[in-house]
Structure 1
Amino acid sequence: MTDPSDISAPVVYDLVLRSRRTVLPDGERPAAVAIAGERIAVIGDYDEPIPAHRTEDLRDLALLPGLVDTHVHVNEPGRTEWEGFATATRAAAAGGVTTIVDMPLNSLPPTVDTTALAAKRAAARGRTWVDVGFWGGAIPGNETELKALHEAGVFGFKCFTAPSGVDEFPPLGRAGLIRACTTVAALGTTLIVHAENPDRLRDAGSATAFDRFLATRPPEAETDAIRDVIDAARMTRARVHILHLSAAGALEQIHRARLDGIAITAETCPHYLALAAERIPDGATAFKCCPPIRGDANRDALWAGLADGRIDFVVSDHSPSPPAMKTGDFATSWGGIASLQIGLPVVWTEARARGHALADVARWMSRGPADFAGLRRKGRIAAGADADLVAFDPEREWTVRAADLLHRHPVTPYDGRRLTGDVVATWLRGKRIDTEAAPRGRQLKRSP
């Protein structure tokens, strides 16, 4: 072992990973990544001799930063039969996701006070294969709880402007939205918003045809609600974020709000970028989510918004449920899509076909969400960052089989879909994740 007092002795790193396609913050190039303990220590040239206890040459496999997914519904405790920390994070690791931030619903109790947060943390302890943080919830009547949740380390607060689908997490009206923004601004944190205007939503009654369900949640439901969020942010100077943007018609108002100095960001999801309403079969409720998947032209417009920066990043909105809750009726089925394990190949398949590079995908799915959440050591291959890394085969074509996925229930709209790109290995803080071994994931708190 090197004597640390001998300054002439060469440093011997724990691990060096070499790849001809290393995706760095400034683009893709051949490189060697030297790891000391849990951190990236040095980025060298691909052929550079670097002393290390172990070296792995990935050759033409791409080396990406671990994905950061800030929109995951784990549902534990209380609805662990829908999903759970063990199953969700095992699926995440298999998909190259090394950090998730868990939503405050649909667990029981929802994370709307510090007692519920403690229950959430207890449920996750020792059961996560990746690092996990938590959002708090903003609902009517819990305004006095937000400061304590903030001080306990949640990453910000989620609210709905329309019914959430579960009674214990009701939406905020306009006055409640303003109050939440006022509190969030004072705390210096972020309000993340499921933005749909309830006055624009319609009852489908029964809908086995997707277009009938789609008509009940028109784009105006999103654009109207986003306008209200922008107005509240302008009034209070709060930092706000639009979750799972589906309606591309909102892009221009988000852009104008930024030009006006409003601190607003937006995300979209793999299903809005890969799927289209025109090709959803009748009764195929695995495709149901809220807001809904829209048409081809809208999808193209979302890609344009992602390319030019009006959309900041891409996250899963992984929201699984038991198969019995996905009946053939779009009106009554649970509105959520399970995709945590396959988001990277889904997005890469579509991005590649549109002329984007792996560096773009890493910016959208790793660094973008990491920076949004204030996780400055995550989402990038750089000296000093956590050694969260993914070996990815960008050329391999394969077919999704729902039964092979690791989240709790084999329900996904991608079943049978042909994708390009496959995760080969995932490292968390310098060690390759082995889901047959003890989980090593840590619980994260918001940085002060």
Structure 2
Amino acid sequence: MTVDRTFTRSTEMQSRLHQLIPGGAHTYARGSDQYPEFMAPVLVGGSGAHVWDVDGNRFVEYGMGLRSVTLGHGYRPVVDAVAAAIAEGTNFSRPTALELAAAEDFLELVPGADMVKFAKNGSDTTTAAIRLARAATGRDVVAVCDQPFFSADDWFIATTPMHAGIPVEQSQRTVRFEYNNLESLKQALTGHSVAGVVLEAATATAEPAAGFLEGVRRLCDKHGALLIFDEMITGFRWSQRGAQSVYGVRPDLSCWGKAMGNGFPIAALAGRREYMELGGLRTRENRVFLLSTTHGPETGALAAFRAVVRAYAEEDPIGRMEKAGRALADGVNAVAENLELDRYVQAIGRPSCLLFVTRGPDLQRSQEFRTLFLQEILSRGVLAQSFVTSAAHTESDIDLTVDAVSAGLEVYSRAIESGSTAGYLIGRPVAPALRARAAPRQIDCT
């Protein structure tokens, strides 16, 4: 690391955070173990695509609030809409007109859905979808695609390495299938009594093969399972109408969140009336306790959502995200190629949802070399667990990032030549967010 940038106050505050908050953050993906040691900035604010930390460092940020911010930090029309709404109260004992308007806006965007219910986080909506599928079918088992994350609740976390505290039988009610592999889904549906099939229609690095999503729809219909799309990332990033509109396949239920409110806390469960009504007052069936939240209809987040919808109607945020992403990928990959590192470092994925790959001398993905890459770009003013862009990223932001990558890859190249990050990496490597045990160095019982 060659650039003089200090993280003294951030390191002190991070230590205090660990004393007061389990994990030192409210999301495992935000944890200090996801950043180079002694280089986990504690932020104080942001504007557009820039953020500032407690040490006075300024960064171009990527990932943008775990993909929840597409219009930029502090986007004024959203902030103004929220301020106007909360000035008249935030929570009431009866539904507000704003709830109706927000529901109308949502269902106009997503014509495949007949009803919608708002919540505060994605895990609540995916879990509600599972409960609804089980109630509608009378079955217990859920088929889940081999994709990173669907819920913090037992039905999913039981299948991860971080399953302490969850009854073992929970994992027995979840079966897995491979993305773009209809045969694996067929086997899951044939061998089990499946209530619902859960998947992201696409990911940053995987597009559906020809006929795959249509085949998933047919298999669900054949076996009587509900098709559930997770639109947390694809919604408002692939399209404001979701991946279901991009690929032309209608799910029975879909779960939304993240960019719906440009960082404000709002999520949604949407779906066909025949299923959604099971959680209402107009059903003759046994009622489902679907979603009942004090803060689900809070006015600030609903106003933020409506302002986001207006922004997408009047502007072209997805086009701007994709333009910035293409320029960034081209720049990073050109730098890597010029340094003969293109086999080791790559920017990959959909332009609006870019990731970077870091490999070691053996060409295998490497946590040590990922940490070295993060260390070098952080020291040069780029905060990036990914290269996910927003509509606020400018040409100058992209140029600064490519310059930071270029300088950082000079160090990376020397480490590759030496066969190790030793002498180049300061501190321990980053670790997977979902793992059974903390690293010994991260355990401090004082």
Considering fraction of residues, name the structure with more strand. Answer: 1
Tell me whether the two structures share a fold, i.e. TM-score over 0.5: no
Structure of higher CA gyration radius: 2
Considering fraction of residues, name the structure with more helix. Answer: 2
Normalized against structure 1, the TM-score is what? 0.28
Normalized against structure 2, the TM-score is what? 0.28
